[in-house]
Amino acid sequence: MADTPVMNIPTDPREQPILDELMLIRADLDLLKRDRTTYIKSSTVVPLYDKIVEQVQKLNAVREDRPHEQNRVDRVLDGCFQLLSLFFMTIGKNNEAPAAYALTSTIKRLLDHLTETKLYSAKDLDHVSQTLESLDNIIQNSEGVHSDRLVTLLANRTSLCREACSSLQERLKRLDPGLAEIHQKCISILRCISLANTKSKFSNSEVKKFKEQLEEIKAQQVDGHFVITPNEIPAGDAEVNELLTRILEWADVVMEHKGVMPENFKPIYDILVNIRNELEKLSLTQAWSLRETDLYDYQRQLDRIDEARVNGNFLDSEGNPAELYVQRTLLYLIRRSYGYIYYLMVSSEPVSEALQPIYNQLQTLRRCLVEVKEMGGVSSPRELYPYSMKLNSIDNMKVDGKFTINGDIPEGQASVNELLAECFDIANGRLSSLNDFTLQPNKNPPTNTVRLPSTTLHSSSVSYAFGPYVLHSRGLWYFLQASGIVTIGAAIMNILLQQHPTFFPHHHNSPRRSPSISPTHLSPRMSARKRKADDELDPRSLDEDMSVSPLTSPAISSRHIARPSKKIRNNEVIGRPLELPRLLETLDADSLRNVLQTICERHPEIGQEVVTSAPRPSVASTIGVLEQYQERLRQAFPFGGNTGSDYAYNRVRIQLTQLIDAISDFVPHYLPPHETQVTTSLDFLDSVTNIVHQLPDWESSSHNHHKDNAYDEISRAWARVISEASKRGGGIQLHNGGWDQKLQKHNAMSGGQMQAAVNALGSNLYCGGANGSSNSNMNSNNDPNSIRNQLFSGTYGTNLPVRVGPW
């Protein structure tokens, strides 16, 4: 592990044993950091902390007369404290003094960069200031618990950070409050431009949009000044003007270079971009994939690059300084990466790594329950069953009120229990709010209620009786779901429709009913008049008789009915469903597969047509599908811990079963007589056997039946294909393809569970093999003088005399 930067060796020989001991401690910390097979425990970290404190006391005694000396001992000691601080975060001791060391180092780096560039906003400093206040509280609470010298060291580091933060805040206070928002927006646009400059695919239009936003801000100026109060130049106008000019120039430089980095600085750029991208991924998946000790390597790489600058600028391998574009781009990547490290440290929860999976599950449950609450709650207790079952399963993991992992009680019990109690409170609150319907006797029924007749409805083995009760229309379906009689909802609605036919109007009925016309309303002239044959074909008569106007209709000429005027139709755009071609364009492969499967299940004849019309799947496509199931199985394993334990098996049992079922479904497709090409069958079996080899082995023998059954099925499939291949050309395909060696290798990897396939190969590989024993065939295979081997090797007939004579 390299130090950053390289410093002088200690001049005092008394410091050399301290340096050697510190390097051994750092090596132990590094090995512990790289060990992913088990969780990090407090019992492992605390002794290493005690050893470091002991060496610090020795170093202070040696340097009593020169306390400000700096050499390699200080650098190694700093690395030990950095690693130890991250270990304290990993085991959940975030609120203890050692955990504050790494965070103070990161804050100091960030503040130094902000002081150097003078490009920051009030929001950045506010968050750092709050973090420093939290660190002060942690340090004060650690007095008398941890080493006094460590507490003093941390207090001095936070004091330096607070002074730097206050100095930066004083600079922003000089700005007029009306300019603060403009300043904040300019800083935000600057960072967006720098981000666009470092993307893998540079977008000139994206940078151009940000530049247009800057020009809009500049257009607000009057005579080159921002105006907040009429006839008055606000405080800080010159600084904001200078900032705006710098950002506009930077936008032009970025658009000119288009994200292309010179070759002499390309290696450093690639390293910084990779660090930034990795930290960005960790910030998105922090709760599930971050171990705080992983941040150490990133921080050391950034320190090495940052401290390699000369007079604030970067130098290439030949010592040439970087141009402005390169310098600003590299500095942005360094500061962005430090910002991610700061965010990840601050976001670290005071929960041990061993309890982190449980804590993450509870956080997910809480988010789901809060989302359900914000969306209006649930309509049935059944909707809360999954949450209740999961919460109870987590609660049952406690032993004597505490979560134990392999007999150890990890840190963070209070945080996990508090979150568990909060989830229970939210779920119980949703359950108690299920009072959306009322069931009452039929007294003065309201207008939005429906009377249920006295009847008894049967659903499976339970009968539900309804007497003369009134149920609100909104609560009807809630009542059915809560009572578990969703399947008889249609029967109840049919009863309602029979007794109240006008309550639910038919969808095809016109919403506007015409007045009924009785015969007495007809005029005598119309009742006595007969229609001639010519009238039926006369368009004028049709227009007169079918007119809807009340003034021209003879049937109601004596009635004066006030009707609303006819609305003028306008060309409004109304919603309509997508046409089939457009709808299919929006579906991805999984959605289209689900739709097709649903159609085939509803219409078996279509399913049969799909089976006969679809092309035969290739071996590569089938193995690709199985590898997808295999990848899901890998991702389902819990983070860290024993991968062969019962807990791990319960976590991946569903994915494991899905993979085994897929193998069982695909194997018969590639067996004769359905598959006529022996080579295709052998290629598939070779690939799928490798997948079976990679199935996990479990500590409990009862869980290994999945893999044993898979080996048994694959072995019988091999034997079936070998038997079919031996009937074609005496099994020449088996010999030329080297399948005997491959099968022997598979049998060895399976621990002899494919011996049946090996025996089938031994009895069918040779000419007329079905009549001989396996041992005789093996002997004939090893005999170089056999006719079969001479035919394969091309030496047959070379030792025979050439006969010359008449035919």
Asked whether the beta carbons of 526 and 555 are under 8 A apart, the reply is yes
Pairing of strands 398-399, 469-472: unpaired
575: alpha, beta or left, given left = phi > 0 and alpha = psi -120 to 50? Answer: beta
**Angle value at C-alpha 778, between 776 and 782, nearest 5 degrees:** 115
Q: What is the DSSP letter of 701?
A: G
How far is C-alpha 586 from the chain's CA centre?
22
* Tokens, residue 534: 């010519």
The bridge status of strand 398-399 relative to strand 402-403 is: antiparallel
Question: For residue 455, what is the DSSP state?
Answer: E
What integer pLDDT is reported at residue 769 of this predicted model?
40
Residues 6+ apart with CB under 8 A from 544: 552
Beta bridge mates, 451: 470
Q: What is the dihedral of CA 515, 520, 526, 531, to 10 degrees?
A: 80
Cβ atoms of 450 and 473 within 8 Å: the answer is yes
Closest listed residue to residue 652, CA positions, set 673, 632, 680, 667 = 632
Question: In whole angstroms, what is the distance from residue 11 CA to residue 539 CA?
Answer: 119
Tell me the β-bridge partners of 114: none
Instruction: Give tens-digit pLDDT for 631-687.
Output: 989 888 887 667 888 878 888 888 898 999 999 889 998 888 888 888 888 889 999
Are 666 and 713 contacting, i.e. CB atoms less than 8 angstroms apart?
no
| CA–CA distance, 233 with 238 (Å, rounded to integer) | 9
DSSP string, 441-507: ESSS--TTEEEEPSEEEEETTEEEEE-SEEEEHHHHHHHHHHHT-GGGHHHHHHHHHHH-TTTS--T
- Provide the edge-to-edge strand list for the sheet that holds 469-472: 439-441, 469-472, 449-452
Of 639, 628, 634, 665, which Cα lies nearest the Cα of 652?
A: 634
Q: Three-state DSSP class for 500? A: coil
Q: Which tokens belong to 487?
A: 């399947």
Burial label, 667 (beta-carbon count in 10 A; 0-12, 13-18, 19+): buried
Contact between 83 and 296 under an 8 Å Cβ cutoff? The reply is yes
Return the pLDDT at 225.
83
b/e map 273-285, b = 16+ CB within 10 Å: bebbeebeebeee
pLDDT score at 220: 85
305 in Cβ contact with 4 (< 8 Å): no
Burial of 475: CB neighbours in 10 Å, binned 0-12, 13-18, 19+: middle
Write the DSSP assignment of 269-290 as a string of letters. HHHHHHHHHHHHHHHHSHHHH-
* Upstream peptide bond of 445 is cis (omega within 30 degrees of 0): no
Residues in the chain with pLDDT < 70? 1-8, 67, 286-289, 434-573, 640-641, 728-737, 764-807
Neighbours of 592 (CB within 10 A): 12
Report the C-alpha gap between 276 and 296 in whole angstroms.
14
DSSP label of 484: T
Q: Name the residue among 371, 396, 381 with its Cα closest to residue 428.
A: 381
How far is residue 678's CA from residue 671's CA, in Å, rounded to a whole number?
A: 9
**DSSP track, 609-660:** HHHHHSPPPPHHHHHHHHHHHHHHHHHHSPSSS-TTSHHHHHHHHHHHHHHH
Burial degree of 326 (CB within 10 A; 0-12, 13-18, 19+): buried
Paired tokens of 339: 């910002």
Identify the three-state secondary structure at position 126.
helix
653: tokens are: 């049992």
